[in-house]
Chains A and B, each alone.
Chain A
Amino acid sequence: MDKMFFWMTDPPGSGQIALSTWREYLASMASVSLVAVVLGVGVIVFLYMRSASAMRVRVWSDVFKTYAPNYWLLLSLLGFFGMGGYAWMDYSTLGEGAVGAEFVAFQIAVWTLFWTALLSFLIVCMPGVTPPKFRYRPYAIFVSGRGVRK
C-alpha cells in the first residue's frame, strides 16, 4: 500500500526515521486515504445527485442560473483538511526524528483531494448521474465555447 505514495521513497530529514517506520507510516496513510477518497466520493456524488435532481427549470430565465450542484465538489476540500490534519498528527508521533511533518501531510492531503475531486467529477459527468437537462453543466468550462454565435 505504501507504493501509493510512490514519490515519497525516503523519509524527510535524511534518515532520522527508520525506513521501515517510514514505510509503515505511508502504508497506514494510504489505507486511510483510500477510505477517505471512497467515502468522500460517495458523499459528494450522493449530495450532488440529490441537489441536481431537485433542481427545476420552471421559467426560461432559470436556464441562466448558477448550477449550484457543482458546489458539492468543493466538499473534496474536507478530505484535504481532514486527511492533512490526520497525516500531520500521526507523523508527529513518529519521534523527534520526524521532521518536515507539514510537507508530508500536505502531500498526502493533496493526493486525497486530487483523487476525491477527480473521481467525483468523472462520476457526475456520467449519463444517469447528472439529469439530461443539465448534461453539460458539470464540465461547462470545457464546452462553453461550443456553438457560440460570433
Chain B
Amino acid sequence: MNTLICAGGTGTRILEAILHFCAAGLGPGELRVLVIDPDGSNGNGARLRQLLAKYLECQKSFNAGGAPGSFFSTRLDLLESEGQATGLKVWSPVGKSQKFNEVVNYAMLPKGGENGLDHKDLVHLLFTEDELGMPLDVGFRGHPSVGAAAMGLLSLFQKEPPWSILAERIRGEVSQADGSHVMIAGSVFGGTGASVIHPLARFIHGIPESNSDRLTIGALAVVPYFQFQASAAGDAADAEKAAKSEWFALATRASALFYHHLRENGDWHFDSMYWLGDPSLTPVPAFSSGGSKQENPSHVTEFLGAVACIDYFNRRPGQKACYYAGPKMSEDDQRRSSSAIHWDDIPSMSLDPAKLKRRMLGFLAAGAMHTGFLHPLMEDPRTDQSPYRIPWYLDRFASRGDHLGSSENLPKLRALSDFFAQHHFRWWREILSDPAGRIRLVNPLALHEANNGGVVADIYQLANFLPERPGAVTADKVDSFFTDMVRSAGTAPDVRGAPGYLSLLAHSAEKFTNREYFDQAESGTGGR
C-alpha cells in the first residue's frame, strides 16, 4: 500500500496534481493520503477538498475504483474512522488559536534546571521573541525552526487519529510481502514542509515493530519555484509577519546542508529523495500571508512533483539515493538554449513519458468531448426519444433500457462535467499560464475561461491539444471522435449504465489520441 503525506501549501498542490493524474488513470491502484498543514483554511486547501470530493463523486458515480489504468480508478484511503468526520484529513501539530510559546509550554519551563541550566534561556537561544509570540493560525510563516519544534511533539499524538490509524495500517502492511511505502512531499524553503519532512520520516520509521525492511520512505523536497512581493499586500502588518520570498534561497541552502549532514552522519531514513524546483521563480500574482486568501496557482513544478511521487510508488528505488531533475541538453540547436518543457523532458524512471503524454492527452480529449458534445447531447430530451440517431447509444444503452438522460444518470454526467470544467481544465490552464510561455505540454489556446467561472476545452481543437500543430483546428475531428465511439461500442468492455459510458468514452479517447497524435508523430509530421 502506498501512502502520501503532503506538508504545507506546496504539498497540498502536489496532492492536487496527483489527484489529476489519478483521474487520468495514471495513479497507483490504491493511495492513502494525509495532509499536514497548520493553515488548513488556506485557499489551496479548500480547493483540494473540492477536487477530492468531486473525484470521489465521479469514482462512485462511474463505479470506477478498481479497474487499473482506467479513469478515476485509484482508490483512496482517507484514514477514516468511526465517529470522525469523513473526507480528507488535514492534521496540524498546533491548535488554531495557539501561539508558539504555548506549544513549547514556555510559561511552565523551569527557571533553573539540571546543572543550573535555565530552560527559558535555552528557548531564547533558539527562537526570537517574535517567533515565541507568533500566532500559528496560518502556519509557520516561513519559520521551519518553529515548525520543527512543533513537529517534534508528534509522538504525543501517536495514539490519536489519524496517526493511530496510520500506524495500525502500516504495521498490518509490513506483515504482507508487498510492504508499505510512504512518500512525504513538501517544500523545503517555507515553513511547514521544511519542518515536517525529517521529523515525520523519523516517526514513521519507528512504527513497525517487525519487518521494518518492508517499509520504505521517500521524500519529495521542493526547492523554490515561485516568488512574491510582500509589499503587494494591503495589510502592512500582515506583510511584516509573513514569509518573504527573499529568504527562500537561504532556507533552501540550510535545508540542503541539513539533509547532507544527516546523510554524512548515518541519520538517513529515506529510501529515495527527490529534489525538484524551478529557477525561473514564477511571480505569484496575489500575495497573502495565509488563510483563505492564500491560493497560489498550479505550477509545472507541482506537476513534476506528482510524476516523482508516482514514479516512486511504481518503482520504489531503494538505493537510499537522492534524485535530481534539471534541464536536459537538447541535440536540437533551436531548443538548446530554450528552457521550454516538452513531454520528453519530463524526468521519470518508471513512468514512460510517451504513456504519460498519451494518457493525459486522451483524458483531455475525453473531457473536451464530454463537456462540449456528449453531455449537452444527453441533456437534450430528443436523444432518449430517438436514440437510433446515435448508434453507439442505441446499441450499448437505450436498447437495454439504460438511458443516460434519466434522472438517475444525468447527475453523474454533470459531476463529470464539473470535474473537468471546474478542476481539471483549470489546473492545466494555470500550469500553462507560465509568463515565459515555457510549458509546451498542452496548447494553451485550447483552454479558455468560461462565463460560469469554469474553464472550457475548445472542442474544435480536439486534435490540437499539442502546441505547434498548424492545420489541426477543425470541427471535423469531433466527427472523427463520434465515429470512434460508434466503432468502439462493439469492442469496449460491456458495462451498463454510467460506468459503461465512461468506459466507452475512455476507450474512444484512446483510439482517437493514438490516431491523431501518435500516428502523425511516427510519420514525423508533428507532435512530440
A149 to B403, CA, bound (A): 7
Tell me if B478 and A57 are in contact (CB < 8 A): yes
Q: How far is the CB of B333 from chain A (nearest CB, A)?
A: 41
A32-56 vs B: 1/0 string, CB under 8 Å?
0000000000000000000000001
> Chain A contact residues (Cβ within 8 angstroms of B): what range?
20 to 34
Q: How far is the CB of B452 from chain A (nearest CB, A)?
A: 18
Q: How far is the CB of A136 from chain B (nearest CB, A)?
A: 4
Chain A at the B interface: mostly helix, strand, loop or mixed?
A: loop
Tell me if B479 and A133 are in contact (CB < 8 A): yes
Tell me if B486 and A149 are in contact (CB < 8 A): no
Tell me if B394 and A136 are in contact (CB < 8 A): yes
A79 to B405, CA, bound (A): 44
Complex interface residues of chain B between 333 and 363 (CB less than 8 A to chain A)? none
A60 to B383, CA, bound (A): 10
Determine whether B482 belongs to the interface, using a CB cutoff of 8 Å to chain A. yes
A131 to B385, CA, bound (A): 22
| Cβ 8 A contact of B398, one of A58, A133, A140, A148 | A148
Q: How far is the CB of B381 from chain A (nearest CB, A)?
A: 9
Tell me if B479 and A56 are in contact (CB < 8 A): yes
Tell me if A60 and B376 are in contact (CB < 8 A): yes
Q: How far is the CB of A139 from chain B (nearest CB, A)?
A: 9
Determine whether B253 belongs to the interface, using a CB cutoff of 8 Å to chain A. no
A135 to B383, CA, bound (A): 16
Tell me if B487 and A132 are in contact (CB < 8 A): yes
Determine whether A147 belongs to the interface, using a CB cutoff of 8 Å to chain B. yes
| Cβ 8 A contact of A135, one of B385, B387, B486 | B486
Q: How far is the CB of A63 from chain B (nearest CB, A)?
A: 5
Tell me if A144 and B478 are in contact (CB < 8 A): no
Tell me if A132 and B391 are in contact (CB < 8 A): yes
| Cβ 8 A contact of B388, one of A60, A132, A146, A149 | A146
Tell me if B394 and A133 are in contact (CB < 8 A): no
Tell me if B391 and A140 are in contact (CB < 8 A): no
Determine whether B257 belongs to the interface, using a CB cutoff of 8 Å to chain A. no
A63 to B372, CA, bound (A): 14
Determine whether A122 belongs to the interface, using a CB cutoff of 8 Å to chain B. no
A19 to B210, CA, bound (A): 109
Determine whether A64 belongs to the interface, using a CB cutoff of 8 Å to chain B. yes
Determine whether B373 belongs to the interface, using a CB cutoff of 8 Å to chain A. yes
A64 to B398, CA, bound (A): 17
Tell me if B388 and A133 are in contact (CB < 8 A): no
Determine whether B165 belongs to the interface, using a CB cutoff of 8 Å to chain A. no
15 new A-B contacts, CB < 8 A, other than A136-B389, A143-B388, are A56-B479, A57-B478, A58-B478, A59-B475, A60-B380, A63-B383, A131-B483, A136-B391, A137-B389, A143-B394, A144-B386, A146-B387, A147-B397, A148-B398, A149-B403
Residues in B lying within 8 Å of A, measured CB to CB: 372-374, 376-377, 380, 382-391, 393-394, 397-401, 403, 405-406, 475-476, 478-479, 482-483, 486-487
